[in-house]
Amino acid sequence: MAILIIFIIIVAVGYYGSLRVHPLTKCKMCGGGGRHFGTVYKSAQRRCRKCGGTGRLDRLGTKVFFGGTNNTGVFTKR
């Protein structure tokens, strides 16, 4: 039982550290390219609405534990 608790603590600390080092993930809607291509006219493109054209979004844990970075990857000073 003690080994399981130690393992859970190690995983939690590792996930927390991972969120601090890598707070962003690529946008699932545009695939990280920042562009959305048209369905009828394949050459037409616009900025992705979900990520605003950056191709990056905050990870779920970044929003939950740190309040998010507004998809910039820079944490605000408290």
| Secondary structure (3-state) at 56 | strand
pTM of the model: 0.75
User: 36: number of CA atoms within 13 Å, CB side?
Assistant: 12
2-6, 63-67, 71-75: the lowest-pLDDT one: 71-75
State the average pLDDT for the chain. Answer: 90
Instruction: For residue 62, give both structure tokens.
Output: 């970044």
Nearest to 62 by CA among 52, 74, 54: 74
Residue 36 is predicted with a pLDDT of 83
- State the Cα torsion 1-3-63-24 to the nearest 10°: -150
Q: Each residue of 8-46: pLDDT tens digit?
A: 999 999 999 999 999 999 999 888 888 888 888 888 898
**Cα–Cα distance, 69 to 21 (Å, whole number):** 13
